[in-house]
Amino acid sequence: MGLLSDKYNLSCGKRNTFYIVGTIIVIPSFLCIFTAPIWANFVCRDVWYVVWPMIFNVGWAAVQVSHMSVLNSLTYCQAKRDQMINSRNGFTYAANIAMLSFSLALFIFEKHSLMQFRVLSITCAVLGSIASLFYMFHINEKSLAAEAISKEQQFQSMPSHDLSFERSKQLDWKAWLRMPQFYNCGLIYMSSRVALNVTATLMPLYLTRALGFSGDRQLDTSFAIAAVPLYLYICSMLFSVFCQARVQSRTPNSRAPLMMIALVITALSSLPMIVLEKEDWCKHLIYPCACLQGISIALMLNTSTQMISDVIGSNTQSAAFVYGTYSFVDKTINGLFLYWLISSYSMSA
């Protein structure tokens, strides 16, 4: 997907074209994942739940890669890129907060679990469509990219300037694969994504199986399944929007200290989860642990994404290949890691 986005520059732009195509694929396939036909037998349902997630991932790859890579075309100032990355991740957490808040209310008023998640899927699809339409009609990639190039050329023509990077010959995908920094940055970003995705995927299982949070006669789904991730994402959003820039301003010349801080906070918040028990006084300690994890994941993901922007520099013409490669690798590693965890530790695997 990244190679295609780098290669074709259509009327909507190199990135927005694939964003539009991906959105058209994502919306219906996402709905189909939660609405299997009632007439289907077990074999048809298995095929249904295999095919539609595959189609969804193709569309999501187009959306994610194009949306991440367009950022590098909108400005050549690294400080502004960092600010946009923090804002992008912050609004991602805000979207999760909105849907988890809606989930809390839905779990209270709707008793049937199947209907709960079908209503959630339809709501996500509707709000996602509105947000995507807003992006499509308000972000003119071609004009903004041309303006960014013009401003950079004006800045470089000044007698003296201190630019984070200079425009150079654009790298192709073969040149990227020969760069050691490409692999170093990819490893760090992949680790950050694994931390976020594995936490988000396994948290409901941890809450219900390990800590014993479960529904009651009035509520089919446990309140904690939505509340704990909600606290996590609230902390992630607040840190991304209000604290990330202040923290990284103390280490302007290196990203490494920020990653070390994130790793320490992650360890401090994760180690207590090993010993938490099902007793009421003990299992509710998951809430402060989730808050700390929200801060560490936000710091880790923001910093690793900024490192990708650092590596790309002025090579905006091949940015989608970089983001696409990292996205493919992180999803593959996440899938393998989750498969190993579930097959190794699940009693019913």
> Model confidence over 253-301: pLDDT tens digits?
788 899 999 999 998 988 888 888 877 778 888 889 999 999 999 999 9
Average pLDDT (30-59) is 85
Note whether residue 157 is domain-resident: no
CATH of the domain at 204: 1.20.1250.20
pLDDT band of 204, cuts 50, 70, 90: confident
**Alpha helices (H) in the chain, listed in sequence order:** 2-7, 16-33, 42-69, 71-74, 78-109, 113-138, 141-156, 173-177, 180-205, 223-238, 244-249, 256-270, 272-275, 280-283, 286-312, 319-345
Note whether residue 20 is domain-resident: yes
Note whether residue 231 is domain-resident: yes
pLDDT band of 164, cuts 50, 70, 90: very low
Q: What is the pLDDT of residue 161?
A: 52
Kindly tell me if the per-residue pLDDT of 160 is higher than 70: no
Note whether residue 161 is domain-resident: no
Domains of the chain: total:
1
Percent of the chain at pLDDT exceeding 90: 28
Q: What is the pLDDT of residue 216?
A: 55
Note whether residue 230 is domain-resident: yes
Give dist(CA 266, CA 264) in Å, integer.
5
Kindly tell me if the per-residue pLDDT of 167 is higher than 70: no
Q: Which structural domain range is residue 88 located in?
A: 2-152+171-345
Tell me which of 36 and 60 has the higher pLDDT.
60
290 burial via Cβ count (<10 Å: 0-12, 13-18, 19+): buried
Average pLDDT (229-239) is 90
Q: Is the pTM of this model over 0.85?
A: no
Tell me which of 176 and 111 has the higher pLDDT.
176
Note whether residue 64 is domain-resident: yes
Contact 262, 296 (CB under 8 A): yes
Q: What is the pLDDT of residue 115?
A: 84
Nearest to 140 by CA among 320, 18, 12: 12
Note whether residue 165 is domain-resident: no
Note whether residue 211 is domain-resident: yes
Give dist(CA 312, CA 255) in Å, integer.
15
Q: What is the pLDDT of residue 236?
A: 92
